[in-house]
Amino acid sequence: MTTLIKSQLLTEKTTLLSSKHNQYTFLVSPKSNKISIAREVENVFPNNIKVTKVNILATTAKPKKNRRTGRGELVGGYYKKAVVTLQAGHKIELV
């Protein structure tokens, strides 16, 4: 069995989301979907966490311009983020 959750994103914006709106952000596998992410979060983290909503953001590589030709290589890459909303009163302890 492969894990869908790669890591947890910890930035200023994600810490504000977790404290104000009870939302946590994870980097997830490109093959994952909302239902599988919700199940994995409920199984991986202890304390009987209940997920109410999952939003997914998928990003693609962006072209970088070359000064002479106007074209260039792709920079970045493809990755998927999942913003998971928990029920009121439930909490994930950050490590």
d(CA 35, CA 89): 22
Is 24:82 a contact under the CB 8 Å cutoff? no
Q: What's the whole-number mean pLDDT along residues 35-60?
A: 92
Higher pLDDT, 18 or 3: 18
CA 60, 4, 27, 84 dihedral sign is positive
pLDDT at 95: 62
pLDDT at 2: 66
